Amino acid sequence: MTGSEILIKSLLAEGVSTLFGYPGGQVIPVFDTLYDYRYELHHVLTRHEQGAVHAAQGYARASGGVGVCLVTSGPGATNVITGVGDAMLDSTPVVVIAGQVASSMLGTDAFQEIDVVGITQPITKWAYQIRRAEDVAWAVARAFYIARSGRPGPVVLDFTKDAQVQQAEFAYRPCTFIRSYQPVPEADPVCLDEAARLIDAAERPLALIGQGVILAHAEEELKAFLEKADIPAASTLLGLSALPSDYPLNKGFLGMHGNVAPNMKTNEADVLIAVGMRFDDRLTGNVAKYALQAKIIHLDIDPSEIGKNVRVDVPVLGDAKVTLQALTGRISPRRHAEWIRSFDEYDRLEQDEVTRKELYPDGGPLTMGEVVRRVSEATGHDAVLVTDVGQNQMMAARYFRHSRSRSMVTSGGLGTMGFGIPAAMGAKLAVPARTVCLFCGDGGFQMTMQELGTIMQEHLGVKIILLDNHYLGMVRQWQELFYHERYSFTAMHNPDFTAIARAYGIASRTVEHRAELDDAIADMLRDDDEPYLLVARVEDKGMVYPMVPAGAGITEILLGEG
Measured between alpha carbons, how far is 280 from 278 in angstroms, rounded to an integer? 6
112 is catalytic: yes
pLDDT in tens, 463-476: 999 999 999 999 99
Measured between alpha carbons, how far is 17 from 43 in angstroms, rounded to an integer? 9
What percent of the chain lies above the pLDDT cut of 90? Answer: 99
Q: pLDDT grade, residue 143 (50/70/90)?
A: very high
The active-site residue out of 5, 100, 159, 161 is 161
Pair 533, 507: CB distance under 8 Å = yes
Q: Enumerate residues 6+ apart whose C-beta is below 8 A from 21.
A: 43, 44, 45, 46, 49, 52, 69, 70, 71
User: What pTM was estimated for this model as a whole?
Assistant: 0.97
The active-site residue out of 40, 111, 293, 485 is 111
Pair 93, 122: CB distance under 8 Å = no
Give the closest residue to 381 by CA, choosing from 396, 400, 358, 405. Answer: 400
Measured between alpha carbons, how far is 101 from 273 in angstroms, rounded to an integer? 50
pLDDT in tens, 499-526: 999 999 999 999 999 999 999 999 999 9
Mean pLDDT for the chain overall:
97
User: Concatenated DSSP letters for 201-231?
Assistant: H-SSEEEEE-THHHHTT-HHHHHHHHHHHT-
Pair 271, 297: CB distance under 8 Å = yes
161 is catalytic: yes
The active-site residue out of 474, 524, 543, 547 is 474
How confident is the model over 374-395, as a mean pLDDT? 98
Residue type, 349: L
Look at residue 27 in the predicted model and tell me its pLDDT.
98
Look at residue 561 in the predicted model and tell me its pLDDT.
80
Give the closest residue to 130 by CA, choosing from 173, 84, 99. Answer: 99
pLDDT in tens, 59-98: 999 999 999 999 999 999 999 999 999 999 999 999 999 9
Strands annotated E in 322-419: 384-387, 408-409
428 is catalytic: no
Residue type, 117: V
Residue type, 541: K
The active-site residue out of 5, 9, 14, 49 is 49
Measured between alpha carbons, how far is 110 from 104 in angstroms, rounded to an integer? 10
Q: Enumerate residues 6+ apart whose C-beta is below 8 A from 232.
A: 205, 206, 207, 226, 249, 251, 262, 265, 336, 339, 340, 343
Look at residue 273 in the predicted model and tell me its pLDDT.
98
211 is catalytic: no
> Is residue 277 pLDDT above 90, yes or no?
yes
CA atoms lying within 13 Å on the CB side of residue 261: 23
Look at residue 562 in the predicted model and tell me its pLDDT.
62
How confident is the model over 485-492, as a mean pLDDT? 97
The active-site residue out of 1, 105, 112, 228 is 112
Please state, as a whole number, how many other Cβ atoms lie within 10 Å of the Cβ of residue 109: 8
pLDDT in tens, 168-203: 999 999 999 999 999 999 999 999 999 999 999 999
Q: pLDDT grade, residue 275 (50/70/90)?
A: very high
449 is catalytic: no
> Is residue 370 pLDDT above 90, yes or no?
yes
pLDDT in tens, 295-333: 999 999 999 999 999 999 999 999 999 999 999 999 999
How confident is the model over 535-551, as a mean pLDDT? 97
